[in-house]
Amino acid sequence: MIWVEARLHNHGTGRSRLAITHSALVSDHWHSFGPGAVGVGWEMGFLGMELHLARPNEPKLDAATFHTTRDGRVFIVGSGAAWGRAAEAAGTDADVARAAAQRTAAFYTGDTVAPD
């Protein structure tokens, strides 16, 4: 089961804050990929939203090829690594968190990772 709760908070004229809580039962998928499995996807979605809001008249990123571009790969690998550090800070063994972050980045970029 997966639950997503989104809340908008008014922060004055023309300003809002979006708070999202994404919850799921721990599964084999979680053990393989950690929080980055969904975190990287959310962050790519927020990147697209930010670019749309900040630059509505500029060409949009191509979702089908973003992961193959230099900027896309840097974004995905950096996001995956940050989620790995967050997992470690939350108590996950450092080696386990790093391996999950690498599998997550490989999934999103289409790269391969050596099996555990």
Average pLDDT over residues 14-34: 88
Element (H, E) at 16: strand 16-24
Share of the chain above pLDDT 90, in %: 78
Instruction: Write down the pLDDT at residue 116.
Output: 56
Rounded distance between C-alpha atoms, residue 88 and residue 19, angstroms = 23
Model pTM score: 0.84
pLDDT in tens, 60-70: 999 999 999 99
User: How does the average pLDDT of the chain come out, rounded?
Assistant: 92
